[in-house]
Amino acid sequence: MKISYDLLFFLTTISINFSLSFSKLSSGVSVVTSPSFLHRRHQQLFVLRAGGDVPQTDISAVRKSLADLIQEKNCGPILIRLAWHDAGTFQKSDHTGGPRGCMRFEGKESEACFGANNGLDIARSLLQPIKEKVAPNMSYADFWVLASIVAIKEMGGPDVKFRIGRKDASSIDESVAEGRHPDADKGCDHLRNVFHRMGLTDKDIVILSGAHTVGRCHLDRSGFDGAWTEDPHKFDNSYYVDMLNKEWKETTTNVGNPQFNSNDEKMMLISDLALLSDENFRVYVEKYAEDEQAFFDDFSESYQKLIELGCSDLQEV
């Protein structure tokens, strides 16, 4: 389906002070001016570029395809990591980095080659067929963000608001230097340096670390090994509960990296348990261990902040 930009603009901005009614445009198209109708259509079909006749992206179809992929491949955690690491390069002081799809470029200067991004080629390969089929007009940054939002929900987590309009980097030259992601073997000062650089808070640090409630470390990718929680495909507050209630023993992986293991073979990183050693962090760990809904509510807010870093003029769909 194609529709002129002027018509779509009319459809989405027309006054909604009237009750359900119909009007005729000069082209003979009937327009429904019901607020609920306009909102539903705006959710389903969103213009990604303006001018003349423009292709439409059916956001509902994109969500459905992503949900099917996640259910089939159990790949939710790595999709979250992809979007997180795309956005997590943002630097507030000079407004560089942020979600702009730089990992799609090949070459030694690409962000895809960062050590922190090892294995994310798997996520990009899983997503690419869906991108080509149902979302060719979405930016990669928007598409990867939406994939992560769907993954969170499919694994039992909270709804996160999706707003569209991120602009992709135009070339590999827009890649930032390596070193902006958190290091797993460092503590509180390092975490603050990384997250505060992005403009995020101590509270955000604890909340976003809670994404470790899903997924696992792979020895061949990160040098660390194991899952944080009992079910790495269930988004809940187990990360905080286990952090407080299990006994963690320091050990090293087969490649010599330090981590902590529990008696039931779950793991925590130095950067995880650092949250217990600082009063400003620990208060949130205890809060979210006790109240999963509070974690969900705050995660929705903090994750949206992360995936919108450096972005402007985003529009809700």
Report how far residue 193's alpha carbon sits from residue 11's, in angstroms, rounded to the nearest whole number: 46
Q: How far apart are CA 254 and CA 262, in angstroms?
A: 17
> 102 φ, ψ to 5°?
-65, -25
Work out the angle at residue 43's Cα, subtended by the Cα atoms of residues 10 and 39, and round it to the nearest 5 degrees.
55
Just list the catalytic residues: 85
Distance separating alpha carbons of residues 123 and 75, to the nearest angstrom: 8
Residues 6+ apart with CB under 8 A from 172: 102, 105, 106, 107, 109, 110
Cα–Cα distance measured from residue 65 to residue 127, given in angstroms and rounded to the nearest whole number: 10
Residue 25's φ and ψ, nearest 5 degrees, are: -80, 170
